[in-house]
Amino acid sequence: MGLAGQQRLAARVLVLGTGDQGSPAFLYLAATGVRTIGISNDDVVELTNLQRQIVHGFPDVSPVRVSSAAAAVARVNPACGSRPSTSG
């Protein structure tokens, strides 16, 4: 795909959930150059989530998952916008 392909990629994607499968999905999407990622989840980060949800870390325990997910997207690709939502 290369840099030129990534710059042309103006896709918008919605990821439902930031758990076991959603966590790596939106990180990979951000890394490929997707322009905007909607992140939907109404749960909080718990200590028991950390071993399988790669996007959350110890400092993220308690806040809503979409907050730490949006921060992770920004770390991977600052040009990728995220739209967190806690409503289904």
All structural domains of the chain, each given as residue ranges with its CATH number in brackets, are: 12-85 (3.50.50.80)
Identity of residue 64: V
68 touches 45 (CB < 8 A): yes
Would you place residue 74 in the very low, low, confident or very high pLDDT band (cuts 50, 70, 90)? very high
Instruction: Say if pTM beats, i.e. exceeds, 0.85.
Output: no
- Mean pLDDT for the stretch of residues 21-40: 92
**Strand partners of residue 64:** 44
Dist. CA 27–CA 47, nearest whole Å: 20
